Amino acid sequence: MVYSAGPCSVCGWMGDALIVRAVGSGLVFFVCPGCGLAWTEPPEVGVVETIDEPEQFAPHGFTVATRAEIAAAGWSHRVEREYPDEDAVPLADFAGFRPADRSAGAEPPAG
């Protein structure tokens, strides 16, 4: 599954802030596949305090976060929607995106 924290602060209702995890550090953060911006806190529609790219938070790449990773990061209450894994396809255009490997304990390869 791919999890959304709701609308992007820049795109508004046109794009979702998807919940992802940095490879290596395990940082759970938020990425909008529409505008390409990323945040460490869930974005709020119309509030743009930073303009960061995913590479800032995930220099070794990132993948979609699992429900367990989202819960461990304390963001379960921010999950607004769930999508099938196929909905992560727009993230494939990002440098550093690693498709999810749902094998037990698997970590996408860094690099």
In a domain, 105, yes or no: no
CA angle 42, 96, 85 (to 5 degrees): 65
Nearest by Cα to 62 from 15, 37, 27, 105: 27
E strand or H helix at 70:
helix 67-72
Q: What pLDDT is attached to residue 105?
A: 52
In a domain, 64, yes or no: yes
In a domain, 104, yes or no: no
d(CA 91, CA 36): 9
Judge whether residue 75 has pLDDT over 70. Answer: yes
Q: What pLDDT is attached to residue 77?
A: 95
Domain count, the chain: 1
In a domain, 78, yes or no: yes
Q: Domain limits at 55?
A: 2-93
**First-to-last CA distance in the chain?**
24
Give the pLDDT band (50/70/90) at residue 103: low
In a domain, 107, yes or no: no
For the entire predicted model, the pTM comes to 0.85
In a domain, 27, yes or no: yes
In a domain, 106, yes or no: no
- pLDDT, one tens digit per residue, over 1-38 is 999 999 988 887 778 899 999 999 999 999 998 888 99
